[in-house]
């Protein structure tokens, strides 16, 4: 009997970005689920019980900071690693998504888009094996 695959939930409103993350992580042996906003992400997290969540910061309906904060309020998800992705990078101080939000959201890691495939794979592996 084969070992169950670790599940990763990717919450990203940009379909191309979501597919890119999926294409990077699936060959590594992970089972990938996709959601297009924070509200759908919370629903899928509840249904799928992922081992790790890759979460875009800037999304409609419920942004990544708010979704991460809601996850952390739920004892079931307090230990699930969250990796935040954002395109704002160097301009983060000029947006409504300040770097302090990453700290308040209690995410394990923070990566800038466009995400480097090797860095994403390494970060996911590190978070899953803590």
Instruction: Let me know: does 47 contact 92? Beta carbons within 8 Å.
Output: no
Read off the pTM.
Answer: 0.88
Q: What is residue 91's predicted lDDT score, i.e. its pLDDT?
A: 46
When divided into structural domains, the chain yields a total of 1
Residue 2 within any structural domain of the chain: no
122 inside domain: yes
Residue 106 included in any domain: yes
User: Over the stretch 29-61, which tens digit does the pLDDT of each residue have?
Assistant: 999 999 999 999 999 999 999 999 999 988 989
> Do 82 and 56 meet the contact criterion of CB atoms below 8 Å apart?
no
Note whether residue 38 is domain-resident: yes
Kindly state whether residue 83 falls inside one of the protein's structural domains. Answer: yes
What CATH number does residue 79 fall under? Answer: 3.40.50.2300
| 119: number of Cβ within 10 Å | 13
1, part of any domain: no
Long-range contacts of 72-76 (CB under 8 A, 24+ apart): 72/105, 72/106, 76/49
Tens of pLDDT, residue by residue over 59-97, are: 989 999 899 999 999 999 999 999 999 876 544 445 554
Residue 79, in any domain of the structure: yes
* Enclosing domain of residue 55: 7-128
In a domain, 50, yes or no: yes
């Amino acid at each position: 009997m084969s070992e169950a695959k670790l599940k990763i939930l990717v919450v990203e409103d940009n379909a191309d970005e979501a597919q890119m993350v999926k294409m990077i992580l699936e060959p590594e042996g992970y089972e990938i689920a996709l959601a297009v906003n924070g509200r759908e992400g919370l629903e899928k997290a509840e249904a799928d019980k992922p081992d790790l969540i890759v979460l875009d910061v800037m999304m409609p309906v419920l942004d990544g900071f708010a979704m991460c904060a809601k996850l952390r309020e739920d004892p079931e998800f307090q230990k699930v690693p969250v990796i935040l992705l954002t395109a704002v990078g160097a301009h983060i101080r000029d947006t409504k998504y300040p770097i302090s939000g990453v700290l308040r959201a209690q995410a394990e890691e923070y990566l800038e888009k466009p995400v480097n495939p090797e860095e994403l794979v390494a970060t996911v592996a590190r978070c899953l094996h803590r």
